[in-house]
Chains A and B, each alone.
Chain A
């Protein structure tokens, strides 16, 4: 709990003394998650006292209302930008408001707030710039095949490329809030290769994930979307492929 306490203290003092006390924010892209988002926000708030920003990706249900009632700040997108476009909106908001650390989590309850301590620790200790909550046991056979293909073509030596459960430090946030990152459509291969190309260190951290409380995957729900996604991602991975950096072993995390 030490790291969480550290971040709580940082956030509490950040408005007055931002220079010496960095601050953190939770970013949550959401699309039609009215059924689950209230509980997901409550679960996070029970565990960590950080501002929660919900980026509503033009939902047609009451996601905005539920998120506001639960105490989150909502960034309402007037047109659907997809999961990455929504996440990037949150990252731009983090830059605009001077946050130093951004934690991205799904709004469907898959990501367990209790894993935050473990995920934040390597970034807080300066061991890496981005930590990814990896749970390779989850997902269908199709998702596992997709992972293998994406890793082969992009050269990324990471376990869970598609996980949206991540912690970014200030350098990573700045890179991903840039115009260049707006050209990306998904948060996996393109985002990770962009970070890697800028010399930022990415680390997998094994975490447990839960079943979705509501809804379904926006990609892995039909063969057509999977085909489009794979073609898009493999082409991007091949065109931006660079020599893979040494995989950072989670056992390097100390404390």
Chain B
């Protein structure tokens, strides 16, 4: 039953992503990553034995630990990537604000020259 719920969550998330891209609420670049994560959920739900086999090969006695650890690792990496991207956006924003201030000063000077 738990497997079915997990699989259903995966499929629902994938559908939601497609809907968000369709409605222009989510950029397709970000959607690609989320669809892959949703696919992971679906695999975990509908084929739990897949994870069981990998866990057994890694020597893990309790397979769900592998899924949880992977999940947390993916989340941490995603949050880190978001902060890196945010830093880029802040940087570009700062450079733009500075350029607007410089252009405004130049424009004022040109207007004053024209008025003379």
Contact = CB atoms under 8 A, between A and B. Distances in A.
Contact of A77 (B87, B91, B98, B109): B98
Interface in A86-121: 88-89, 92-93, 96
A179 B97 contact: no
B97 A93 contact: no
Contacts of A89: 98, 101-102
Interface in A44-98: 53, 55, 73-79, 81, 85, 88-89, 92-93, 96
Contact of A79 (B87, B97, B102): B97
Nearest to A92: B98
A81 B91 contact: no
Contact of A75 (B87, B91, B94, B101): B101
A183 B87 CA distance: 8
A74 B23 CA distance: 44
A88 B95 CA distance: 10
B91 to A, nearest CB: 5
A13 interface: no
Given A182-B91, A183-B91, A75 B97 contact: no
Contacts, number: 43
Interface in B71-116: 87, 91, 94-95, 97-102, 104-105, 109
Contacts of A88: 98
Contacts of B104: 75-76
Task: Kindly state the interface size class of chain B when it binds its partner.
Answer: 10 to 19
Size bracket, chain A contacts? 10 to 19
Nearest to B104: A76
The 10 closest A-B pairs by CB, nearest first: A75-B101, A89-B98, A75-B105, A77-B101, A93-B102, A182-B94, A182-B91, A79-B97, A89-B101, A76-B101
20 contacts: A53-B105, A73-B105, A73-B109, A75-B101, A75-B104, A75-B105, A76-B104, A77-B98, A77-B101, A79-B97, A81-B94, A85-B97, A92-B102, A93-B105, A182-B91, A182-B94, A182-B95, A182-B98, A183-B87, A183-B91
